[in-house]
Amino acid sequence: MGTRGRSIVGMDVDVLIEKLNKAFADEWLAYYQYWMGAKVAKGPMREGLVAELLQHATDELRHAGLVADRIIQLGGTPLLEPKNWYEMTNCGYEVPDDPYVEVLIDQNIKGEQCAIDVYQELANLTREADPVTYEIVLQILTDEVEHEEDLQALAEDIQLMKERG
């Protein structure tokens, strides 16, 4: 922990660490959901979807790393056990028990929309109070917005293919 770095934060640091740990849980679950979805996916345009899912999985794991580093800088401890992910998550985990591409895409769109809300809230909370966290949150939010659009564009392509052959 950097003591000066922590002392300049203009809000309750323990509350912030708790919120970052909840986002950290979301990132691991999002990573696993994408990674597993890429393994089991079946249906039209599977290869394009699998490539997108794997790219997103990589991004979510990178987000988990960014959030963990910031928690540690603030003097906190990132969740140490996977079982804590389920207890702390905002966005939950959608089991990919139906491997059909459109179902997977819908599940992941839901996850991205939740992530956008979580990081928008964190951005509002930290914009003035903690510009260092704000900068990290903004990077992640930008990725989540891109993820949502990627998935909605894929869903649209699959829909067009089905309508127009």
Positions touching Fe ion (CB under 5 A) are 27, 60, 63, 144, 147
Pick the closer one to Mg ion by CB: 27 or 130: 27
Partner interacting with residue 139 (select from Fe ion, Mg ion, none; CB below 5-8 Å by kind): none
Partner interacting with residue 150 (select from Fe ion, Mg ion, none; CB below 5-8 Å by kind): Mg ion
Q: Is 143 in the site for Mg ion (CB under 5 A)?
A: no
Residue 110 structure tokens: 């839901």
Dihedral angle computed from the Cα positions of residues 94, 97, 102 and 105, in that order, rounded to the nearest 10 degrees: 30
Q: Is 150 in the site for Mg ion (CB under 5 A)?
A: yes
Partner interacting with residue 19 (select from Fe ion, Mg ion, none; CB below 5-8 Å by kind): none
Residues in region 42-81 near Mg ion by CB under 5 A: 55
Shortest separation between residue 147's beta carbon and Mg ion, angstroms: 6
DSSP 60-104: HHHHHHHHHHHHHHTT-----SHHHHHHH-SS------S-BHHHH
Partner interacting with residue 63 (select from Fe ion, Mg ion, none; CB below 5-8 Å by kind): Fe ion
Which of 25, 24, 49 lies closest to 38 in space, CA to CA?
Answer: 49
Q: Is 144 in the site for Mg ion (CB under 5 A)?
A: no
Pick the closer one to Fe ion by CB: 59 or 130: 59
Dihedral angle computed from the Cα positions of residues 54, 58, 63 and 64, in that order, rounded to the nearest 10 degrees: 100
User: Residue 78's CB: how many other CB atoms inside 10 A?
Assistant: 19
Pick the closer one to Mg ion by CB: 55 or 77: 55
User: Residue 45's CB: how many other CB atoms inside 10 A?
Assistant: 16
Binding residues vs Mg ion (CB under 5 A): 55, 150
